[in-house]
Amino acid sequence: MPGERNVEVRVHERDDPRIERILDLIDEAARPRPLAEVLGVLCSEVAAVIEAPVASIYVREEEPDAQVLVMRANVGFPGGAIGQVRLAVGEGITGFAAEVMRPVTVSTAADDEHFKPVPGLGEEQYPIFLALPILVGRRAEAVLVLQRRIGRAFTRDEVVLATALATSFAYALERARARREGDADDAPRKAQLGGRGLSPGAVLGRVETSPTFEGLAALARARGMAEDVDVEVRRLRLEHGLEATARELTRAAEQLPPEARETLAGLFLLWDDQRFRALVAEEADKELNPAVALRNVARAYARAVYAGNAPNEASTARSVEAETFCMQVAARVIDERIPSQGAALLVTDRLPALLVLNAVAHRAAAVACSGKLAEDGLGVRVARAAKLPVVSEVGGLFAWARVGDRVLVDADAGEVRVNPSAATIARFRRTS
């Protein structure tokens, strides 16, 4: 028809790794966790994407007579450097990038006029340098530094990708600043958020979030669990974690009505799958960090499930459940049990059945989800069978709710109240 134009529309699927990484990092930055933990996770993930053995984030901070850049997270250098390495704006390559507010690449750091060595850090092993200022408003609020060993300079495409990934740090810093300002003003952080009730009930609980592989990997490093070179010890650790997690989920399923248990029968085949167990052993042989090993298992299993075929609903669901199981095994191995009894578990856009079973196993109180869930999804059906209230499509959930907050998850009314008033809590207790 006249006036019509042919417009090509391309939907970027979930198998586009660069786009997915950027989206995942924004999701990580949005999680209600301490800023130091968020920055550590982001450093770890960016280092993996860009393939840089060292990633550091320097945050601009006010001191009585100057503004300084303080290392607040790092991957690749000794943990003791965090909070101790300090540079003035304009000092060193890092400070220079903050001053000019442009990315700076250096092929041999020690030969650059701006280089400032930090005793005991071991930077001389990583002379190839990329410093990316994190701009918030009209100034650099932080600098992301990536470093490599000699022989592989950062390409223009890598600088562009790293710049895109670095936006997650800006988001995390902005959220942290907003929280500080709100706290400083003693502003009551209360919210009534609308959603869609999918599994009935109303429960008062404390906010917890589902763990991530990146967060667990950072925790494993902090606890010294990513340094064990004994292959047999690593293999036994993962095998014991697998068996313990499988037993726990099986016991949780036994609390459900028979018809619900039947719907889960296929999932219980996962931990007996010899292909799955072979992948666990293979990664234990190669990878020191247990969380990274299990993330790799999940990805390899997903590739095996698809086996070159286009993803369908069944294969996608199976790979998501396998990923959830691997994450639960990682959490057990690292001894980070989430959720705890009475927790209101916050999730983003998925509710795998094994996540619900884990919530049942740990006597969680309810689930709130920021994304849309299928009403007949297996996770929702299991939640109903377990009488676990679920509210989905909760707008502003991660903007308002923080770990440790008290929340009222009311699936009957389709709402989540963050830090409800004493009167609301009293009214809830009278009617419950």
Residue 235 neighbours by CB distance under 10 Å: 17
Do residue 50 and residue 134 come from a single domain?
yes
Do residue 206 and residue 241 come from a single domain?
no
Do residue 28 and residue 160 come from a single domain?
yes
Domain for residue 246, yes or no?
yes
Do residue 368 and residue 328 come from a single domain?
no
Do residue 42 and residue 163 come from a single domain?
yes
Domain for residue 121, yes or no?
yes
Domain for residue 222, yes or no?
no
Instruction: Sort 351 into a burial class: Cβ within 10 Å, 0-12 / 13-18 / 19+.
Output: buried
Do residue 27 and residue 117 come from a single domain?
yes
The helix (H) or strand (E) run that includes residue 47 is: helix 35-50
User: Which residue, of 184, 218, 249, is where some domain finishes?
Assistant: 184
Do residue 394 and residue 329 come from a single domain?
no
CATH number of the domain within which 241 lies: 1.10.274.10
Domain for residue 3, yes or no?
no
Q: Measured between alpha carbons, how far is 128 from 150 in angstroms, rounded to an integer?
A: 6
Domain for residue 1, yes or no?
no
Do residue 97 and residue 197 come from a single domain?
no
Do residue 27 and residue 159 come from a single domain?
yes
Structure tokens at 252: 């949780």
Do residue 277 and residue 362 come from a single domain?
no
Please give the residue range of the domain that contains residue 407.
190-210+338-432
User: Which residue, of 283, 304, 333, is where some domain finishes?
Assistant: 333
CATH number of the domain within which 120 lies: 3.30.450.40
Do residue 417 and residue 347 come from a single domain?
yes
In 3D space, the residue among 152, 159, 87, 157 whose CA is nearest the CA of residue 130 turns out to be 159
The tally of domains found in the chain comes to: 3
Phi and psi of 36, rounded to 5°? -60, -40
Q: Measured between alpha carbons, how far is 418 from 251 in angstroms, rounded to an integer?
A: 32
Do residue 383 and residue 324 come from a single domain?
no
Domain for residue 277, yes or no?
yes
Domain for residue 169, yes or no?
yes
Q: Measured between alpha carbons, how far is 151 from 322 in angstroms, rounded to an integer?
A: 38
pLDDT per residue of the chain (432 residues) written in tens, 0 to 9: 444 444 444 333 444 455 556 666 666 666 666 777 788 888 888 888 888 999 999 999 876 666 789 998 888 887 778 888 889 888 999 999 999 899 999 988 888 888 888 887 888 889 999 999 988 767 888 999 999 988 788 998 899 888 888 888 887 887 776 665 555 444 457 889 999 999 999 999 998 888 888 778 877 877 778 776 788 888 898 999 999 999 999 999 999 999 888 889 888 888 888 888 899 989 888 888 898 899 889 888 888 776 666 667 777 788 889 999 999 999 999 887 678 888 888 887 789 999 999 999 999 999 999 888 999 999 999 999 999 999 999 988 877 888 888 999 999 999 999 999 888 888 888 887
